[in-house]
């Protein structure tokens, strides 16, 4: 049974809307229990009562779940019934819920930018679980600050721009082809750029998929489907050389193999450049003949030159080490798949896999591991501090479970090496102004909330360019990117947030400090006027320019000095 939430209508409801500050507004405050996430650790009823005493607050309401349909309805009804001019919601993270609450204000007739949010979950209840009284007092502080800022919020108009319903996809592997195929089926025009002379990417070096299907058949089907689309333009032996513009209107320069530079106008860009297997030069005596990689083993399967009967596979070669500290995720799956293929072709073959940990995530891959054991494939753990030695036709390793050193003769040693970023990843990241991580894989905007987006609007990523992915994952990510793009390009016009920087041309002295600080290159210098100007579409509202400008000409809408100082004054 949910308890009846308390509704408070303080005497301040009769305050006239004149003058400045909180007293000039009619502010509504909604306090969320978030089930027990917040109410289990702070006194939400007390916070609600306190909110009702703040200057300008004419309505305060406690909700069980403010983000629920009932909670949203109470916000909309509160605005209409109490003629609210500002709304404050004290609940969880603005990153996930602010768009929902602000759009609800808009539906009720209140400008969405007259909404402020206080994070009393992440910043309060979650970090003060053992201190209910202290957490409650801090929640009051956060609400008081939000109300103080809300009083000085200004109505804003969202920014509109034209859209080009066309997409550039860089990379013709599984992820890129899946994206192109889906977008084309949606009716969007697609430009595909592949620097190799043929499509297919790393799929061309694989013999079979985990399902047992020939990789060449799978790739041929994808390629044929893409090339048959009349709304797909394919550039082979080509690379993207120049990029200009912004979401909805990117102008791309593509250098073809014959040296010709062509221009294409697109609305969104997809990075699907993939990755390559590490060539383990200097590791375990690698020679490409008797000691090869999993990729080279697949190529022997393809051309029918595999003839070994005693095979030893060594995992984590060149990975999870000082040079490359990450786990490539798919190496274990590939090793088990190839080991099974060897045993299927020759049940008497002796196959051993030496591993540190087996990354067989997912029920199907876990079943592969157990099936492999049932086929007679041996799995032995080795100590990374004492890695196996390959010498004189034998592999020696310390058997961790018995503490004894084992010697295994071989016809072929197969090294499982990680996928590594392409050499031009850093160059492409600079060209597109998108980040890469410490391993040079491209970095998404948020691993959970925006796993296929870059922080730069209109640019997306998928497949092994983001992180090592198997064929199933690369394909699903390609489909996911197509869905994300559809949410943008199927609109009549681009509408973006009004929370952007602006520069007062009357006081700007053209010192270029803001130009140097802007991470999105959204500010340009106008030599004829001697001032700087913000491109509102490129601006992401980070505030670097506003905090840098010595003349205070640059400000950030929604975070102007008066609004921030009112919060500081409220908490002091």
pLDDT tens, residue by residue, 292-302: 999 999 999 99
Rounded to an integer, what is the distance from CA 291 to the centroid of its chain?
38
pLDDT at residue 561 tops 70: yes
The DSSP result for 304-342, as a single string, is T----SEEEEE--TTSSSSS--S--SSHHHHHHHHHHHH
Identify the residue with better confidence: 7 or 67.
67
Q: Which helix (H) or strand (E) holds 79?
A: helix 69-82
Distance CA 211, CA 235 (A): 31
Tokens of 407: 């010697």
Identify the residue with better confidence: 368 or 22.
368
Q: What is the DSSP letter of 402?
A: T
- Backbone φ and ψ of 276, nearest 5°: -130, 150
Q: What is the DSSP letter of 156?
A: -
Mean pLDDT computed over 225-244? 96
Tokens of 408: 């295994």
Distance CA 11, CA 516 (A): 51
Q: Which of 222, 250, 248, 243 is nearest to 234 (CA)?
A: 222
- For residues 128 and 41, the answer to whether their CB atoms sit within 8 Å is yes
Structure confidence at residue 402 (pLDDT)? 86
CA dihedral (175, 177, 182, 188) in degrees, to 10, reads 120
Distances (CA, A) of 392 to 290, 291, 307, 311, 485: 11, 12, 20, 15, 55
Tokens of 324: 């490359």
Structure confidence at residue 21 (pLDDT)? 63
* Model confidence band, residue 1 (pLDDT cutoffs 50, 70, 90): very low
Structure confidence at residue 399 (pLDDT)? 87
What sign results for the dihedral spanned by CA atoms 354, 358, 359, 362? positive
What's the order of all strands across the beta sheet hosting 394-399?
A: 389-391, 394-399, 404-409
Structure confidence at residue 18 (pLDDT)? 37
* Model confidence band, residue 13 (pLDDT cutoffs 50, 70, 90): very low
3-state secondary structure (DSSP) of residue 276: strand
- For residues 253 and 242, the answer to whether their CB atoms sit within 8 Å is yes
Tokens of 338: 């190839």
Rounded to an integer, what is the distance from CA 335 to the centroid of its chain?
29
pTM of the model: 0.82
Mean pLDDT of all residues belonging to the chain: 93
Distance CA 197, CA 503 (A): 48
Structure confidence at residue 46 (pLDDT)? 97
285-299 burial, b for 16+ CB within 10 Å, e for fewer? ebeeeebbbbbbbbb
Distances (CA, A) of 348 to 351, 352, 408, 451: 9, 13, 16, 45
Distance CA 468, CA 464 (A): 4
Structure confidence at residue 292 (pLDDT)? 98
Counted residue by residue, the chain has a size of: 572
Identify the residue with better confidence: 235 or 3.
235
Which of 54-58, 402-406, 491-495 shows the highest mean pLDDT?
54-58
Tokens of 417: 């090496």
pLDDT at residue 15 tops 70: no
Q: What is the pLDDT of residues 171-188, one digit of tens each?
A: 999 999 999 999 999 999
Q: Which of 83, 6, 16, 82 is nearest to 50 (CA)?
A: 6
Mean pLDDT computed over 224-230? 96
Q: Which of 469, 199, 176, 428 is nearest to 442 (CA)?
A: 428
Mean pLDDT computed over 398-409? 91
Structure confidence at residue 462 (pLDDT)? 98
Mean pLDDT computed over 471-476? 96
Q: What is the pLDDT of residues 91-106, one digit of tens each?
A: 999 989 999 999 999 9
* Model confidence band, residue 20 (pLDDT cutoffs 50, 70, 90): low
Supply angle C-alpha 48, 51, 57, rounded to 5.
Answer: 125
pLDDT at residue 550 tops 50: yes
3-state secondary structure (DSSP) of residue 89: strand
- Backbone φ and ψ of 70, nearest 5°: -65, -40
* Model confidence band, residue 11 (pLDDT cutoffs 50, 70, 90): very low
Q: Which of 246, 231, 248 is nearest to 165 (CA)?
A: 248
Structure confidence at residue 5 (pLDDT)? 47
* Model confidence band, residue 533 (pLDDT cutoffs 50, 70, 90): very high
- For residues 501 and 545, the answer to whether their CB atoms sit within 8 Å is yes
Mean pLDDT computed over 431-444? 95
Rounded to an integer, what is the distance from CA 217 to the centroid of its chain?
31
pLDDT at residue 23 tops 90: no
Distance CA 469, CA 466 (A): 8
Structure confidence at residue 518 (pLDDT)? 94
Structure confidence at residue 223 (pLDDT)? 97
Structure confidence at residue 521 (pLDDT)? 87
Structure confidence at residue 19 (pLDDT)? 41
pLDDT at residue 465 tops 90: yes
């Amino acid at each position: 049974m949910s308890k009846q939430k308390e509704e408070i209508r303080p005497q301040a409801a009769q305050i006239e809307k004149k003058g400045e500050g909180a007293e000039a507004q009619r502010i509504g405050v909604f306090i969320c229990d978030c089930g027990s996430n917040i109410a289990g650790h702070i006194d939400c009823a007390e916070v609600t009562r306190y909110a009702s005493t703040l200057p300008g607050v004419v309505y305060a309401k406690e909700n069980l779940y403010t983000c629920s349909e009932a909670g949203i309805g109470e916000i909309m009804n509160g605005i209409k019934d109490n003629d609210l001019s500002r709304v404050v919601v004290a609940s969880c993270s603005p990153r996930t819920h602010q768009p929902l609450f602000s759009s609800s204000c808009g539906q009720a007739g209140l400008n969405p930018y007259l909404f402020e949010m206080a994070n009393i979950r992440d910043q309060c209840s979650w970090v003060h679980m053992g201190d209910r009284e202290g957490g409650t007092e801090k929640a009051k502080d956060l609400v008081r600050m939000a109300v103080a800022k809300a009083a000085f919020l200004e109505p804003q108009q969202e920014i509109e721009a034209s859209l080009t319903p066309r997409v550039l996809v860089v990379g013709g592997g599984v992820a890129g082809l899946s994206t192109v195929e889906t977008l084309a089926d949606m009716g969007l025009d697609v430009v595909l750029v592949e620097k190799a002379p043929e499509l297919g990417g790393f799929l061309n070096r694989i013999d079979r998929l985990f399902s047992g299907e020939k990789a060449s058949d799978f790739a041929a089907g994808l390629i044929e489907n893409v090339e048959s689309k009349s709304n797909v333009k394919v550039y082979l032996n080509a690379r993207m050389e120049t990029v200009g513009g912004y979401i909805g209107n990117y102008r791309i320069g593509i250098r073809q193999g014959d040296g010709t530079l062509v221009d294409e106008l697109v609305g969104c860009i997809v990075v699907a450049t993939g990755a390559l297997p590490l060539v383990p030069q200097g590791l375990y005596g690698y020679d490409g003949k008797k000691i090869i990689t999993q990729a080279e083993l697949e190529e022997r399967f393809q051309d029918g030159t595999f003839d070994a009967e005693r095979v030893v596979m060594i995992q984590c070669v060149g990975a999870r080490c000082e040079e490359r500290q990450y786990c490539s995720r798919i190496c274990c799956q590939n090793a088990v798949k190839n080991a099974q293929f060897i045993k299927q072709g020759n049940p008497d073959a002796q196959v051993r896999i030496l591993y540190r940990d087996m990354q067989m995530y997912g029920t199907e891959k876990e079943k592969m591991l157990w099936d492999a054991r049932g086929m007679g494939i041996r799995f032995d753990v080795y100590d990374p501090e004492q890695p196996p030695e390959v010498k004189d036709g034998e592999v020696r390793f310390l058997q961790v479970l018995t503490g004894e050193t084992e010697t295994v003769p071989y016809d072929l040693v197969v090294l499982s090496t990680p996928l590594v970023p392409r050499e031009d990843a850093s160059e492409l990241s600079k060209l597109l102004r998108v980040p890469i991580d410490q391993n040079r894989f491209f970095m998404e905007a948020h691993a959970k909330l925006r796993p296929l987006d870059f922080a730069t609007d209109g640019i997306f990523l998928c497949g092994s360019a983001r992180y090592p992915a198997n064929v199933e994952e690369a394909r699903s990510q390609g489909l996911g990117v197509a869905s994300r793009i559809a949410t943008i390009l199927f609109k009549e016009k681009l509408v973006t947030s009004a929370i952007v920087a602006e520069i007062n041309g009357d006081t700007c002295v053209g010192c270029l400090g803001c130009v140097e600080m802007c991470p999105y290159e959204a500010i340009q210098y106008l030599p004829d006027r001697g001032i700087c100007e913000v491109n509102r579409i490129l601006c992401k509202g980070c505030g670097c320019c506003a905090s840098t400008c010595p003349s205070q000409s640059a400000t950030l809408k929604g975070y102007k000095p008066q609004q921030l100082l009112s919060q500081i004054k409220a908490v002091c």
